[in-house]
Every structure is written in structure tokens, then in C-alpha cells.
A and B are shown apart, each in its own frame.
Chain A
Amino acid sequence: MIQVEHMNKTFKVTRRSAGFSEAVKALFHREVELIHALNDISFTIGDGEMVGYIGPNGAGKSSTIKILSGILTPDNGTCMINGRIPWKERKEHVKDIGVVFGQRSQLWWDVPILDSFELLRDIYEIPTHQYQETLDELTGLLSLGELLRTPARQLSLGQRMRCEIAASLLHRPKILFLDEPTIGLDAVSKLAVRDFIRKQNKEHKTTVLLTTHDMQDIDALADRVLLIGRGRLLLDGTLSDLKSHRPKEEATLDEIIAALYRDYRI
């Protein structure tokens, strides 16, 4: 169970225009602006739910995921995940969650994937038999096979992403945060990843919160959608709620979202 109430997070951003004189000016006076990455965000996600978290670039999606994973501390507001405050009880909290950042890698780049996995096994103190079981299952579902004995640097993006997802699930987390898991993947890899996430949710009742810009991800995966823009939560509903905002009859999901962004002026 994830409960977020009235959460705020601001970042300081320094700005200046291009050019020499501007750079000199900035030496003495820096223009600092506070950006409200999250502005009074509240939502609740129940166990076993699959939620799509969408919004334009810079809307605050990744910040939310990082706060929920215990990496960032919000300015104020409360957040309870399975009875714990992520950033206060970080070490206990992260044993229950798995995180995939689509744009980063957690795999050790010049050793075989299996070495990275075994390191994770020891870091999460996973019992050997459970590790073996999970690994076999993940290997089957994500068709890892030979990939496990290859160094991460020699894998293609799609292959690597499958390994990244497996790495995040080795300790059988109850909650899975996916930050753009399908970014840059080809059609086949995308389908494989989606298929796998759906199975994982169905069979292990894993709660999934996923951010994406790919509306087909949402269509395929999310029963519920949270739309965020400029740090505010704009819509919390089902996919059909989203579709009811359709500007014209045959609009695609992307067009609906674009229309929504326009309507909310984000």
C-alpha cells in the first residue's frame, strides 16, 4: 500500500543567458529560481495495482519515483509505503521494492551479468535456493539464457533492459517502480517487456508503478492512470476516463494526451 499525502518538492535552478557579459554577471549575482517539481501531490495505490504515471517531460514523474524509492527527501508532506517512510527507513524500505531507471544501468559493465546478479543476491541477502528459483523463473520469462554469461557492455539495449528488469526483481520485491522501462526499445523488446510486467503483476501480485511516454505501454499495462503536469496531479482515473477526454472520435491515445496537456495548459 502506497499512501502519498500533500507532498511537495522544490529544486533550485540557476539560470543565465548565453554570452560573456552574462557569464561575468553570474559570477556576482546568480539568478536562482525555485522549481516546484511536486506541488501538493496526493494519491493512494493499493496492493497489486498496476498504475501508469504519465505527464510531459519535467512534470515531476521521476522525482516522485525517487522519493518513493527513498532516494530523495520531499520538502514536506507524508508518504507511507507498507507502513514505512521511505527516506527515513531507507534500508528496510528498499528491501521491499525494485526500481528500474530506464536511462541508467545497475549492471556492472565489464563482467558477466551473472556476477552482477550474484552481488545483488548477497547485498539483498537472498537465500541461495530462493535466488536460484527466482533466477530460473526470470531466465525463462525474459529469455535471458546465454545473456547471463555475457558482459553488460556487449548487450544490445533491449537485451540489457531485460537483464535490468530481472536484476530489480531478484529479491522478489512487493512493489516495482519502473521509470521509462521501454525507452529506446524496438517493437519486439517492448512487447516482451510489457508481457513480462503483466505476468509479474498477475502471478506475484506485484504492485507496479510505471512512468512512460509511450501510450501503448499505458494501453497494454495500466488499469489506472495518474496524470501529472507542472508538479500537480491533474487526473486520477481509469484508462477509459482518460479516453473520455478524447477531442475527436478516432483520436489516438497520444492525441488525447496532447489535448489534455493543452486543456490543462501544461
Chain B
Amino acid sequence: MKKYWSFFRIRFIHGLQYRAAALSGMVTQFVWGTMEILLFRAFYESAPQSFPMEFQALSTYIWLQQAFLALYMTWFWESELFHSITTGNVAYELCRPVRLYHMWFVRGLTVRLSKAVLRCMPILVFAWLLPAPYGLTLPGSFHTWFFTLLSMTLGLLFVVAFGMVVYISVFYTISSQGIKLIVTSLSEFLSGAIIPLPFLPDGIREFVNFLPFASAQNVPFRIFGGDLKGHDMYTSLLGQVFWLAVFLVIGQIMERNALKRVVIQGG
């Protein structure tokens, strides 16, 4: 365990050193969040009764999404990992006394956390200072805070476990182009990164809610804004646990098989 912790620590410190990237990321997210809220406001003003979420809950959703973008973005890939498989550099990682899956999983967690830690606070404070209903509204009860945090953790672990399946699939396909393209566009939409899932039409919404992607940012951000509560919340949390377990198992089975038949590319 200690070695993974130490790996986490060193990688985390390493991730913190990219200040310019953090600053520009933050600026982008301020602007993006503002634009998105303005866009939704236009819809809201034309037909408030057909809005599936309260406007305040929507603003909260968007600001959380911008603040924690690094944790849940499914379009972010570490090209170094793909590269190490296609060039055969993975050979070095295979002669260490650690499991490749565990190492890369910790690495995925660290990259996301170190990016998010630098960026989230200014955005959250800024959004909290905005007037209602455009800003971030804090929930009153301890209960909501607790479940948001729990759900955020599950969502993050899920996103990393999902990414692992994609990374390991490259042992089989060699090129990462195709899978990256498909996975990125599908999962962005289906996880509620482009528009929150409650905005999808009936029928499709139920189906999408059942898919694994709904277990990422969709759940915690809606719990926090008060949009998801009671029975539905518990079902969604169970869904998160379920999909996390499924992807952990798939990833590890794929890793085992891949390593049995691994070919180190390039001599």
C-alpha cells in the first residue's frame, strides 16, 4: 500500500507544478460556465414550465461541473500510457514489483485530483458570490453534503476505472485513435457533461440513466443542488457502486489476459 501512496504523493506534487495550465484552465471554465448559464437562461425565460430542473439547481450543477471538470472529464487521456503500449516502453513497468492495473489506476486518480485541487477553489468561491439564481447554492443539511461527497468519490473512481478499460484495450488494438474518438463523444454526451441528463426527452432519459455513464458527474452534482433526493438518490448511488464494480472487474480481467499474450512492440 505504501508504494502506491508514495507514487500518489510524488505524482501529485508533480501535477501541481503546471501553474500556467491551471490558470488558463480556470479562465476557460469561468467563461464557459457563464456562457452556459446565459444560454440556459434564454430557454428558461421562454418556457419556465417546461424546464426539468429548478434554475438554481441548474446553475449549481454547471458551476460544480466547471470547478471539478478535471475529475470527471472523459475526453482527457494520458497519451503517455497509450504511447508506452504502442512503443513497448511498458516493458519497464512490467519489470516492477507492482501490478500494472493498480499503478495506472493510482496514476489516473492522481492526475485528476492534482488538476482539480488547483482549479476548484477560485471557481467555487466566485460562483458562490454570484447572485441567486445564477450562482452556486450551498445545501443546508449535513446529509446532502455527505452524500454529495460520497457520490463524488464513487463517480471519480468510476471515471478512472472506465479509463483503465480504454487504456488496456490498446494492448489489443495497438492504435488508440478509434476508441478514443468513440468513447470521448459518446461518454461526454451520455454522462451529462454537455447538457444535464434531466433535459433529455422522456424515454431516452430513462434509458441513458440506466447506462454506466450516468454514474459519473450526473449523480453528485444533482444531489448537491437538491435535484436528486430521497429514493431516487439511493437508487443512483447504488447504480454508481454497481457500475464501478463492473468496470473494475472488466479492467482487471482485460489486464490479466493482455499480459498473458502481451507483445512488446519494437524489439
Binding site for B on A (CB under 8 A): 11, 58, 62, 66, 69-73, 90-92, 94-95, 97, 99, 101, 103-106, 108, 111, 115, 118-119, 122-125
Q: How far is the CA of A122 from the CA of B103 in the complex (A)?
A: 13
B264 in the interface (beta carbon within 8 A): yes
Question: Do A111 and B98 touch across chains, with their CB atoms under 8 A apart?
Answer: no
Please determine whether A125 and B2 come into contact, CB atoms closer than 8 angstroms. yes
A58 closest partner in B (C-beta): B267
CB distance from B87 to the nearest CB of A (A): 8
Q: Decide: A119 near B7, CB < 8 A? Known: A71-B264, A124-B97, A125-B2.
A: yes
* Complex partner residue of A73 from B10, B97, B260, CB under 8 angstroms: B260
Q: Does B91 contact A (CB under 8 A)?
A: yes
Do the beta carbons of B88 and A123 come within 8 Å of each other?
Answer: no
Chain B residues with CB under 8 Å of A105's CB are 89, 92
Q: How far is the CA of A115 from the CA of B17 in the complex (A)?
A: 14
Q: Which chain B residues lie closer than 8 Å to A92 at the CB level? A: 97
* Known contacts A119-B10, A123-B7; is-contact A69 B95 (Cβ 8 Å): yes
Could you say which interface size class chain B belongs to?
Answer: 20 to 34
* Cα–Cα, bound, A115→B9 (Å): 11
Is there contact, CB below 8 Å, between B7 and A122? yes
* Docked CA distance A73–B259 (Å): 9
Contact A104 B91 (CB under 8 A): yes
Task: List the A side residues contacting B138 at CB < 8 Å.
Answer: none
Most A CB contacts (10 A, CB to CB) among B89, B97, B266 go to B97
Contacts A62-B267, A71-B264, A73-B260; is A119 near B97 (CB within 8 Å)? Answer: no
Known: A69-B95, A115-B10, A124-B96. 7 other contacts (CB 8 A): A62-B267, A103-B266, A103-B267, A104-B88, A105-B89, A122-B6, A123-B7
Chain B nearest CB, measured from A171 CB (Å):
9
Given contacts A103-B267, A123-B3, contact A71 B95 (CB under 8 A): yes
- CB-nearest residue of chain A relative to B14? A111
Supposing A119-B6, A119-B7, A122-B6 touch, asked if A101 and B262 sit within 8 A by C-beta, the answer is no
A-B contact pairs, 8 of them (CB 8 A): A70-B95, A95-B97, A118-B10, A122-B2, A122-B6, A122-B10, A123-B98, A125-B3
In the complex, what residue of chain B is closest to A61 when comparing beta carbons? B267
The answer for the CA separation of A119 and B87 in the assembled complex, in Å, is 23
Question: B19 within 8 Å of A by Cβ?
Answer: no
Highest count of chain A CB atoms <10 Å: which of B3, B89, B267: B267
Known: A66-B264, A122-B3. A101 touches B94 (CB 8 A): no
Nearest A residue to B264 via CB reads A66
Interface set, chain B 218-267, CB cutoff 8 A to A: 260-264, 266-267
Pair B262/A72 contact, Cβ less than 8 Å: yes
Q: How far is the CB of A230 from chain B (nearest CB, A)?
A: 15
Within 8 A of A (CB), among B31-82: none
Q: Which chain B positions have C-beta within 8 A of A91?
A: 97-99
Residues of A within 8 A of B14 (CB): 108, 111, 115
The interface centre, meaning the residue of B87, B96, B264 with most chain A CB atoms within 10 A of its CB, is B96
Assembly CA distance A58 to B260 (angstroms) = 22
Min CB distance A111 to B, Å, is 6
* A90 proximity list for chain B (CB < 8 A): 94
**Cα distance A70–B261 in the bound complex, in angstroms:** 12
Q: Which of B1-23 contact A (CB under 8 A)?
A: 2-3, 6-7, 10, 14
Closest A-chain residue to B94, C-beta based?
Answer: A71
Closest to A106 in B: B92
A123 partner, pick from B89, B97, B260, B262, beta carbons under 8 A: B97
Which residues of chain B are near A104, meaning CB under 8 Å? 87-89, 91-92
In the complex, how many angstroms separate the beta carbon of A54 from the nearest chain B beta carbon?
Answer: 15
Report how far A105 CA is from B93 CA in the complex, Å: 11
Q: Would you call B96 and A101 a contact (CB within 8 A)?
A: no
The chain B residue sitting closest to A65, CB to CB, is B91
Please state if A94 and B96 are interface contacts (CB–CB under 8 Å): yes
Q: In whole angstroms, how far apart are the Cα atoms of A124 and B95 in the complex?
A: 11
The 9 closest A-B pairs by CB, nearest first: A122-B6, A106-B92, A71-B94, A91-B97, A69-B95, A99-B95, A94-B95, A122-B3, A123-B3
**In angstroms, how far is the closest chain A Cβ from the Cβ of B7?**
6
B88 shortest CB reach to chain A, Å: 7
A105 vs B92: C-alpha distance when bound (angstroms): 8
* B91 touching A71, Cβ below 8 Å: yes
Query: A66 contacts B97, CB within 8 Å?
Result: no
A116 nearest in chain B by CB position:
B10
Are B96 and A123 touching (Cβ within 8 A)? yes
Looking at the assembled complex, report how far the CB atom of A25 sits from the nearest CB atom of chain B, in whole angstroms: 21
**B6, B7, B14, B91: which has the most chain A beta carbons within 10 Å?**
B91
